[in-house]
């Protein structure tokens, strides 16, 4: 960094310290929204869609590849008592959504419980939109892991929906001044409207076509993908081998592999995958790993075990604070923790952000960055994560800059593009500093996502900016 830029950053440090003390919540939020951000590198594409995004795509045949969807709006015991409510076709789950193919296989009794998405009345539509997010006090971890994903049903098997969700995210991140998105998804279960499986090449082509579209290019958001697999499935090792082969064949877009799924299901314990990964690395060039670990209430060695798998990044890392030896090892080291404050709060891993271990990691030299996890299910964005971090942990300007740059430094994108993104972030940050020091007005935010308005209503109160 040139000497002049360094001096400007020192001035900005003092400016931001004073600004934090005087700014109204809405002013602080506007500042963080306008601030250039490196990227979001812990992002589930299937969990990133706002309810209205899902509705817009799923009811539009031109966008969704020609699929028609039906959602459960009424309940009756068509299959009698004792049905499997934890499988893929629960009988007693409202707003479980299916395609025409699945709908036509239902009995007449069950069909009567479903309504075409495009024909929902206003009350039903609002309930459908609400069913995609955690918006009630009783909805937490169990609702998220045991109902949310099941509700979405056949929509999760449509690659065109994923393509449009990707574009919606890119457009939203453009408004937040985010440079890079590294999102994770599963593609092995994609189906045509008649039930024929898509090949992995066909799904990759749909995603690639999305990125090549004029609308995507206009966002100036760079995107790469991780392939994810559910860690506790009986055939997870075989799925890992297939996932490895797919990433290996499409390294221009797919840059990593992730293991997902709740950690309190011990069938997905990290070391289960060590023999498979060692076998795969013996046959081909290594693929970067970013693996969920430490998203747990109990102390355990999942983070250490996950690093042994070869992971470069840890998703969540919440309980690292309970593993002193691994915490010491990660200080000032090469491994990054992807911090998801809102997710950890809403899924009840912490009762209060004030007790979250994030600031301890940050201020003892553990590399960290902020990310959104399943932002559509929280109705939030990346700015919300930064706002909570500043409000609860009094972040300095230098810490904000480090969090932003870490998202790119620890990304899995190729080295040449990584350096180009870092330079772009540095230039945009320098421009942002000059604008603030020259009192350039911040852009007005017309609409906020619901989470932040519920968490801190003053952010969304325009009169509080005065």
Domain ranges of the chain: 5-48+158-433, 68-154
pLDDT at residue 19 tops 70: yes
Contact 31, 15 (CB under 8 A): no
Q: How far apart are CA 260 and CA 229, in angstroms?
A: 6
pLDDT at residue 464 tops 80: no
pLDDT tens-digit profile of 139-185? 888 888 888 889 999 999 999 999 999 999 999 999 999 999 999 99
pLDDT the model gives residue 88: 78
Within 10 A of 415 (CB to CB), how many other CB atoms are there? 7
pLDDT at residue 4 tops 60: no
Q: Give the CA distances from residue 447 to residues 96, 291, 342, 431, 461, in Å, rounded to whole numbers and listed in that order.
A: 29, 33, 19, 25, 11
Q: How far apart are CA 53 and CA 108, in angstroms?
A: 30
Query: Lowest-confidence range among 3-17, 130-144, 185-199, 366-380?
Result: 3-17
Within 10 A of 300 (CB to CB), how many other CB atoms are there? 18
Query: Lowest-confidence range among 143-157, 169-183, 289-303, 352-366?
Result: 143-157
pLDDT at residue 3 tops 50: no
pLDDT at residue 217 tops 70: yes
Helix 3-22 × helix 397-409 angle, to 10°? 120
What mean pLDDT comes out for the span 73-92?
89
pTM for this entry: 0.95
Query: Lowest-confidence range among 2-6, 330-334, 433-437, 461-465?
Result: 2-6
CA angle 50, 346, 333 (to 5 degrees): 100
State both tokens at 436.
């603030």
Contact 231, 268 (CB under 8 A): yes
What mean pLDDT comes out for the span 425-449?
95
Q: Give the CA distances from residue 132 to residues 48, 292, 418, in Å, rounded to whole numbers and listed in that order.
A: 10, 22, 34
- 373 forms beta bridges with 43
Q: Which CATH superfamily is domain 5-48+158-433 in?
A: Metal-dependent hydrolases (3.20.20.140)
Instruction: Give the strands of the sheet with 114-116, arranged side by side.
Output: 97-99, 69-72, 114-116
What mean pLDDT comes out for the span 120-131?
96
pLDDT the model gives residue 260: 96
pLDDT the model gives residue 5: 58
Contact 253, 224 (CB under 8 A): yes
Interacting residues of 99 by C-beta distance below 8 A, sequence separation 6+: 67, 68, 69, 70, 154, 157, 158, 191, 193
Strands (E), 308-408: 313-316, 336-339, 368-370
Q: Give the CA distances from residue 81 to residues 90, 91, 94, in Å, rounded to whole numbers and listed in that order.
A: 12, 10, 17
pLDDT the model gives residue 463: 65
Query: Lowest-confidence range among 24-38, 347-361, 386-400, 435-449?
Result: 435-449
Give the residue carrying structure tokens 């060692």: 278
Within 10 A of 365 (CB to CB), how many other CB atoms are there? 11
Query: Lowest-confidence range among 84-88, 129-133, 147-151?
Result: 84-88
The upper half-sphere exposure of residue 338, i.e. CA atoms within 13 Å in the direction of its Cβ, equals 31
pLDDT at residue 466 tops 70: no
């Amino acid at each position: 960094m040139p000497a002049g830029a360094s001096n400007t950053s020192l001035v900005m440090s003092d400016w931001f310290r004073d600004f934090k003390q005087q700014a109204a919540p809405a002013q602080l939020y506007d500042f963080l929204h306008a601030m250039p951000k490196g990227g979001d590198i812990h992002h589930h594409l299937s969990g990133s869609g706002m309810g209205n995004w899902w509705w817009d795509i799923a009811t539009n045949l031109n966008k969704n590849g020609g699929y028609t969807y039906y959602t459960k709006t009424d309940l009756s015991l068509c299959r009698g008592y004792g049905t499997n409510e934890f499988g893929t076709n629960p009988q007693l789950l409202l707003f479980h959504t299916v395609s025409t193919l699945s709908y036509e296989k239902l009995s007449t009794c069950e069909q009567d419980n479903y309504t075409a998405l495009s024909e929902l009345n206003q009350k039903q539509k609002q309930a459908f939109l609400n069913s995609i997010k955690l918006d009630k006090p009783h909805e937490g971890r169990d609702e998220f892991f045991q109902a949310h994903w099941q509700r979405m049903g056949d929509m999760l098997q449509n690659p065109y929906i994923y393509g449009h969700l990707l574009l919606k995210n890119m457009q939203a991140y453009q408004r937040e001044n985010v440079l890079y998105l590294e999102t994770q998804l599963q593609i092995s279960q994609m189906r045509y409207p008649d039930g024929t499986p898509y090949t992995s090449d066909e799904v990759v082509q749909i995603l690639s076509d999305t990125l090549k579209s004029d609308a995507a290019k206009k966002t100036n958001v760079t995107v790469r993908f991780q392939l994810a697999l559910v860690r506790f499935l009986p055939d997870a090792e075989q799925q890992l081998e297939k996932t490895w082969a797919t990433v290996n064949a499409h390294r221009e877009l797919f840059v990593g592999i992730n293991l997902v799924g709740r950690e309190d299901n011990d069938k997905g314990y990290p070391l289960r995958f060590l023999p498979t990964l060692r076998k795969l690395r013996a046959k081909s060039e290594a693929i970067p790993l970013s693996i969920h670990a430490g998203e747990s209430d109990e102390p355990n060695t999942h983070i250490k075990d996950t690093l042994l798998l070869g992971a470069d990044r840890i998703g969540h890392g919440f309980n690292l604070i309970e593993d002193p030896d691994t915490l010491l090892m990660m200080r000032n080291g090469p491994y990054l923790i992807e911090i998801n404050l809102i997710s950890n709060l809403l899924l009840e891993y912490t009762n209060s952000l004030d007790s979250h271990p994030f600031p301890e990691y940050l201020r003892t030299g553990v590399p960290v960055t902020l990310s959104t996890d399943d932002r559509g299910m929280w109705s939030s964005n990346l700015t919300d994560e930064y706002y909570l971090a500043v409000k609860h942990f009094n972040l300095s300007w230098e810490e904000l800059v480090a969090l932003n740059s870490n998202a790119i430094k620890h990304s899995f994108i190729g080295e040449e593009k990584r350096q180009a993104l870092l330079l772009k972030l540095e230039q945009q940050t320098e421009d942002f500093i000059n604008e603030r020091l020259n009192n350039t007005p911040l852009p007005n935010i017309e609409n906020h996502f619901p989470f932040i308005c519920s968490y801190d209503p003053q952010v969304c109160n325009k009169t509080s900016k005065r």
